[in-house]
Amino acid sequence: QVQLVESGGGVVQPGGSLRLSCAASGFTFNTFVLHWVRQAPGKGLEWVAYIKSDGSGAFYTDSVKGRFTISRDNSRNTLYLQMNSLRAEDTALYYCAKVVFQWQDGAFDIWGQGTMVTVSS
Amino acid sequence: EVILTQSPATLSLSPGERATLSCRASQTVVSYLAWYQQKPGQAPRLLIYDASNRATGIPARFSGSGSGTDFTLTISSLEPEDFAVYYCQQRYNWPPITFGQGTRLEIK
C-alpha cells in the first residue's frame, strides 16, 4: 500500500542541525511532488517546503528560507529535509506528505506518521 | 499570504446531528481548497480536495462546498468517530500553502 515513513528526528541544541528522511513505497515516487508540513505541540498545521517531482525546483516558507533544504533521491524513493541553524520555534512534529495527483501541487492525500524535532538547550 | 479563518473555533454537537464548519479566505482561492480531519496522535486525513471532491474512502456524509473566499464542510449526520479537529488548506496562491487554525468538533 502507499506509505510514507519519516525518520531522523531528535533533540538538538539551538544552532544545531538535523536531517530528516521520508521513505516512500507503493506509488511511482518520481512522478509526484512532495512536501514537508510541521505541527508544533498543541498547535495547528504549518507548511514548510515543497519539491518538484524531478527535484529541479523547491519552495519554502519564509521562516525556514536559508536554513532548511528539501531534496529527494528518486533512485532510493526517499525525500529529505536538511535543517540547519535550528531554533526553538522549529520544535514540531514533521510530516512528509504526498499530493493526490501527479499533475497537482498541493492537496495531501498520504501523510507519514511524523518525526519529532525538539530544539532545546 | 492567504489567511484562512475557520469558524467556529469549537463546535459542540451530539451524534446524529448535522455539523457545518466554515473556512473564509482573505482573498480568492477559486476552488483550490482542501479539508482535513485530525484525531489525537494521528496524522491529518484528507477529506475533501478542490472544494467539493471527496477523497478516496471518505464516507458520503462528508461534503464540501463553496468557491472564491467562502467554503463549508458539512457532516450530514455525526458518527462517534467524527469528533476531531478539522483544518482547511489552500493551494491557489502559494507559496506559502496555508492552513486554517482549525475547528474542534466535540461531543456535546
Of B91, B95, B99, the CB nearest to A44: B99
Per-residue pLDDT at B48: 98
SS3 A64: helix
Per-residue pLDDT at A31: 96
Distance between CA atoms of residues B1 and B96, nearest Å = 7
Q: In this structure, are residues A97 and A110 in contact, taking their beta carbons and an 8 Å threshold?
A: yes
Average pLDDT over residues B9-25: 98
Q: In this structure, are residues B103 and B11 in contact, taking their beta carbons and an 8 Å threshold?
A: yes
Per-residue pLDDT at A104: 84
Q: How far is A45 from chain B (nearest CA, A)?
A: 6
Name residues whose C-beta falls within 8 Å of residue B8's C-beta, 6 or more positions apart in sequence: B22, B103
Average pLDDT over residues B9-38: 98
Per-residue pLDDT at A103: 83
A62 CB within 8 Å of a chain B CB: yes
Q: Write out residues in chain A with pLDDT < 70, as ranges.
A: none
Distance between CA atoms of residues A117 and A12, nearest Å = 8
Of A60, A61, A95, the CB nearest to B43: A95
- Does position B45 have pLDDT exceeding 90, yes or no? yes
Q: B68 pLDDT band (50/70/90 cuts)?
A: very high
Nearest CA in chain B to A45: B99
SS3 A116: strand
Q: B98 pLDDT band (50/70/90 cuts)?
A: very high
Of A45, A62, A105, the CB nearest to B87: A45
| Residue A35 with chain B: CB contacts under 8 Å | 97
A58 CB within 8 Å of a chain B CB: no
Distance between CA atoms of residues A44 and B5, nearest Å = 12
